[in-house]
Amino acid sequence: MEQQKKFYSIPTLRRLPNYLRELKRLRDGGMERVSSPTLAKALRIDAISVRKDLEMIGMTGSPGVGYRTADLLLGIERFLGWQNASEAFLVGLGEFGRALLAYRGFDEFGLRIVAAFDETRRDAPESSLHDVPVFGLDQFPHLAERLKIRMAILCVPDDRAQEIAEFLVQCGILAIWNFTSPTLQLPDGIIRQKVNLAGDLAVLSVKLAEKLKNEPA
């Protein structure tokens, strides 16, 4: 059987949550239809990009009439697979991991953190944090298998990141959201997104210092 290669653009994918937010606002305001220029204005892009974005996920509007708000909402949620929340395990309960657990906003994006793990809790009794059950990392293989979890949020200390990421992949994890600094060396097929806060801050600090130096006092 020939595999269908799907095409999608990363910038479009990254904009989809913005469409969802705007469409929910319109729906809640009783707007049954929406035009591409309206969406374009809300998202601060041009109307042609809006039409292209929505075409990519298989939605086309009617000329002069636009899109049905409810259809668009459902279409985007379906495309993202967000009608059924994505499930993920969070690994590493240092300060940042705990902060992410405390943050409930992921629900809105259809992400459900099913359980959290920490190396230092090996052999610790089961417990929970912000209503999410917490386990030692030794429980990861068993639970990943049983619950068929394929996505992990990695918040471990930087010097443990590579080794633990390899372990997660051995346990069947296919997508890693990496909040640690190191760049992970993993098999090609593993899906990765990286949030490098220390790196961001380095860029901001140096550019700002440069700017202040070059400015008249």
Cβ-contact 215, 207 below 8 angstroms? no
Answer for which of 46, 55, 103, 163 binds a copy of itself (CB under 8 A) is: 103
User: Of the two residues 65 and 212, which places its CB atom closer to a copy of itself in the complex?
Assistant: 212
CA–CA separation, 161 vs 164, rounded Å? 5
Tell me which amino acid residue 185 is.
Answer: Q
**Other CB atoms within 10 Å distance of the CB of residue 121:** 18
CA–CA separation, 31 vs 24, rounded Å? 10
Answer for which of 32, 138, 163, 200 binds a copy of itself (CB under 8 A) is: 200
Q: Can residue 27 be called a binding residue for a copy of itself (CB under 8 A)?
A: no
Q: Site map for a copy of itself, 32-71, x if CB under 8 A?
A: -----------xx---------------------------
Q: Number of residues interacting with a copy of itself: please give it, by CB under 8 A.
A: 68
Q: Can residue 74 be called a binding residue for a copy of itself (CB under 8 A)?
A: no
Minimum Å gap between C-beta 61 and a copy of itself is 21
How far apart, in Å, are the Cα atoms of 153 and each of 23, 60, 173? Answer: 28, 35, 10
Answer for which of 55, 138, 158, 163 binds a copy of itself (CB under 8 A) is: 158
Answer for which of 10, 28, 60, 217 binds a copy of itself (CB under 8 A) is: 10
CA–CA separation, 29 vs 130, rounded Å? 33
CA dihedral sign of residues 76, 78, 84, 89: negative
For the chain, the distance separating the N- and C-terminal CA atoms, rounded to the nearest angstrom, is 68
Cβ-contact 81, 110 below 8 angstroms? yes
**Residue ranges binding a copy of itself (CB under 8 A):** 3, 6, 8, 10, 13-18, 21, 25, 43-44, 79-82, 86, 94-96, 98-100, 102-106, 108-111, 150-151, 158-159, 162, 174-175, 177, 181-183, 185, 189, 191, 193, 195-212, 214
